[in-house]
Amino acid sequence: MPGRPGSGSVYTARGVYAVLAVQQLMASGTHIVAKVIVQQVDPFTLTFVRTLISASAMLLILLLRGKAPAIRREDYRMFLWLAFLGVPLNQFLFLYGMRFTIPSNAALLYATTPVVVLLFSHFFLGESLTRRKAAGVVLGFAGVTIVIFERGLSASMEYLLGNVMIFVAVLAWALYTVYGRTMIVKYGAIESSALSLIGGTILFFPIGVVSALRFPFGTLTAAHWLQIGYLSIVTSVVSYLLWYYALGRIEAGKVAMFSNFQPIIVTALAVTLLGQSVTVPFVAGGCIALAGVVIAQFG
């Protein structure tokens, strides 16, 4: 029996939404896994091992694709900048900050990435910023401020430091997104990401290898290695590929909207698995921040 007109596109969209649902579960799990493993492995060693594994996997993908992108000389500096933003800043600060803060805070701060991207695109690329988008940016940052200072200045300086480090990681990721667009257009999403990740791994190598050589890897259990593998392969490779699969098939706005559910998923997982408590300031700041993200996305 033939399908209704347009039913093929409906089923395609449903398939993409299913892929995004899986991708968001993977991304949400990142915050939970990172919180657990970073208590066992210091951030320097963990970043070193994680990026070494993920960069090797991305290099293998490039080799299997059978084409190595020829980088133009004028783009070397940009890829170096992206490499620095992606690994030494974003990945390292995320893992370091997770030692002190809680998964739900990290997820919420990362959910404001679209707002930060809008702001950076306006100042650095000259893109227009409508009044509604500007209002969304203001709301987003207001919510972020509430969450960062959720427990006040004197309650726990380590907790505050963790939140600040995570937010700096978000700023780095937003800059990576803004400046990476031109490289993605020139060289492709997978190629650009692989080159940036490999470059970032090389940049971090002299710092991470010192810590890694001193770390007692013999103390790690199979469960610890599974957690490291999750961050290295599931988060940095599989989740990324699923994200770009979706971007290639439906509108970017619809894809981005899925990331707004991540703080809710992470909070539910953190409460269930880690016994995390949910405070009133977190709920209030989260609602304000997410409202700002939605307004900015559709402004």
Q: What is the pLDDT of residue 152?
A: 65
Cβ atoms < 10 Å from Cβ of 237: 21
Confidence label for 4 from pLDDT (cuts 50, 70 and 90): very low
Q: How far apart are CA 35 and CA 37, in angstroms?
A: 6
Most confident of 10-24, 131-145, 255-269: 131-145
Q: What is the pLDDT of residue 1?
A: 39
Q: How far apart are CA 28 and CA 282, in angstroms?
A: 17
* Neighbouring residues of 9: CB distance < 8 A, sequence distance ≥ 6: none
Q: How far apart are CA 146 and CA 152, in angstroms?
A: 9
Q: How far apart are CA 212 and CA 190, in angstroms?
A: 28
The residue ranking higher by pLDDT, 150 or 195, is: 195
Q: Quick one: average pLDDT of 93-114?
A: 91
pLDDT tens digits, 54-92:
999 999 988 888 877 788 999 999 999 999 999 999 999
Confidence label for 125 from pLDDT (cuts 50, 70 and 90): confident
Q: How far apart are CA 49 and CA 60, in angstroms?
A: 17
Average pLDDT of the chain, as a whole number: 86
The residue ranking higher by pLDDT, 45 or 18, is: 45
CA 235 to the chain's CA centroid: 9
pLDDT tens digits, 168-218:
999 998 899 888 878 888 888 788 888 999 999 999 999 999 999 999 999
Helices and strands (H, E) in the chain, number of each type = 15, 0
pLDDT tens digits, 254-294:
666 677 788 888 999 899 999 888 888 889 998 998 898 88
Q: How far apart are CA 136 and CA 130, in angstroms?
A: 10
Nearest to 282 by CA among 106, 156, 136: 106
| SS3 call for 277 | coil
Q: Which strand (E) or helix (H) includes residue 293?
A: helix 280-297
Residue 7, pLDDT above cutoff 60: no
Residue 295, pLDDT above cutoff 60: yes
* Neighbouring residues of 18: CB distance < 8 A, sequence distance ≥ 6: none
The residue ranking higher by pLDDT, 242 or 166, is: 166
Nearest to 212 by CA among 48, 11, 27: 48
Q: Quick one: average pLDDT of 235-256?
A: 74
Q: How far apart are CA 240 and CA 176, in angstroms?
A: 14
Residue 247, pLDDT above cutoff 90: no
pTM of the model: 0.86
